[in-house]
Amino acid sequence: MAYDKELADRVRELIAGEPGVTEKRMFGGLAFLINGNMSVTISRQGGLLVRMDPERADALVDDADVTPMVMRGRELDGWLRVSAAVVDADEQLAEWVTRGVGFARLLPAK
């Protein structure tokens, strides 16, 4: 399954004008990078992958629509999988994108 192009357009609108933003196709999805650091990705499985402070991520997990990201059987600290249902509303999408972009801005540029 290809990533959701409409969701990608919505994310583009939210980060338009952000300095240091680039897009890169990765793992069948579309990643938005801030100064070379991944911030949010449109997942080919639907919804988003959001990078954030690992200490804050656990509090947002609900085991239904927001889950830890798992790659090769291992949970990745600071990465959450957010279902498409959660980001259906523009306000919710903006909250998640803001989290990802905000955290990526704290990281050293690559």
- Contacts for 18 with CB less than 8 Å, ≥ 6 apart: 34, 101
Structural domain boundaries in the chain: 5-106
Based on the number of CB atoms within 10 Å of its own CB, is 105 exposed (0-12), middle (13-18) or buried (19 or more)?
middle
- Which pLDDT belongs to residue 19? 95
According to the model, what pLDDT value does residue 1 have?
Answer: 67
Mean pLDDT of 4-13: 97
What is the average pLDDT score of the chain? 95
- Please enumerate, as own/partner, the contacts of 6-12 that have beta carbons within 8 Å and a separation of 24 or more: 7/42, 7/47, 7/48, 7/84, 7/87, 7/93, 8/42, 10/90, 10/93, 11/40, 11/42, 11/48, 11/93, 11/97
State the pLDDT at residue 22: 97
Give the predicted TM-score (pTM) of the model.
0.94
What are 14-67's pLDDT values in tens digits?
Answer: 999 999 999 999 988 999 999 999 999 999 999 999 999 999 999 999 989 999
pLDDT for residue 61: 95
Residues contacting 89, CB < 8 A, separation 6+: none
Fold classified for 5-106: Aspartate Aminotransferase, domain 1 (3.90.1150)
Average pLDDT of the segment spanning 66-91: 95
